Amino acid sequence: MKYLVLLLVIFVGFISCQKELTNTVFNPFPDSLFIPIDTGGSFEADIDSVHWKANYHKASFSIATPLLPRQLTILGKSADGRTLSIIVTDTGLHHIYSLTGGSRTSGAAFADSSFGVAYTTNQNQDSTLSGTVEVQIDTIKKTVSGTFSFVVYRRTDSSHKIVTKGKFTNLYYGSDYRLPHANATDTFHVKIKDTLFEPYSISADYISPANSIDISGSDSLVTRTLGIAFSANVVPGTYTFSLPDYSGVYNTSLAIFQSDSGKIEILQHDTTSKRIRGNFYFHASSIFNPADSLNLTQGYFSVKYH
């Protein structure tokens, strides 16, 4: 979860339907967002000349709102946990999209692992072309196919990755697959600018490579996603939100906010039942415009992680 969703909530944040700088930020894309490849289709590319292929993938269209047009989001996760996501505005059955550094409505993101600040096309320092995505939509079969190539950037360490030979084929975007409703025994909520946010779907996972526990929650349309991540060795006590061990992320359809201060209080951590409870609050700034910030207060979670 320390991955920073790009953009999906990046846009969805990447958009619609999710920690590597020192290694922390949050994976806005829990496994529940993906569907097995046995539903048909494929999603693959070369990333810095190394082949990547999705073991799980998902395509979905958002519902248009007064602030955002309908958008197509494509997500893919490889067997080794690397995640690639693309989001574009729906403009017809066949269209070629240009991805630029200044865009907040179309883009792409790549995360090396569940823990790592994502590389994204819109972290480019200027508005020059980052790449293109060609999309073809089959409204009868409810599938999307296309090709893509682009460069994704990471401001935190001024690095980038080159994505070439990208191709997605017959990815199903029908409405049969939805985020599951939160388990009745799990709770995760926070006030954002004094307004309560109670996620429709909640995911809590132990991430072995980073030895962390990642908790994320999204509304039913995935237009907003909240995530916190912390050391799996945590014991009851109070800790400061500080990378790489403790982080929070809040994604909306227009921005990604990363924690820069705050506290998390662990009330209970039962390593046998894997039930963990706690309170939290943090201040977060937009990764695109640090002057844009917000306060998340009165946060609470009680979840069983997997």
The full set of domain ranges for the chain reads: 8-172, 187-304
CA–CA dist 277, 304 (Å, integer)? 9
* pTM exceeds cut of 0.75: no
User: CB 67: neighbour CB atoms within 10 A?
Assistant: 9
Q: What is the pLDDT of residue 90?
A: 78
Q: Comparing C-alpha atoms, which of 206, 201, 118, 103 is closest to residue 161?
A: 118
pLDDT tens digit at each of 306 positions of the chain: 333 333 333 333 333 333 332 233 334 444 444 444 445 789 999 999 999 999 888 888 876 665 567 788 888 888 887 889 898 887 777 788 888 766 666 788 888 764 456 788 877 766 667 889 999 999 898 899 999 999 988 877 788 899 999 999 999 887 544 556 667 889 999 999 899 999 988 989 888 767 889 898 888 766 788 999 999 999 999 999 987 789 998 987 667 788 999 999 999 999 999 999 999 999 998 876 778 899 999 999 999 998
Instruction: Say which residue the tokens 């990208």 belong to.
Output: 166
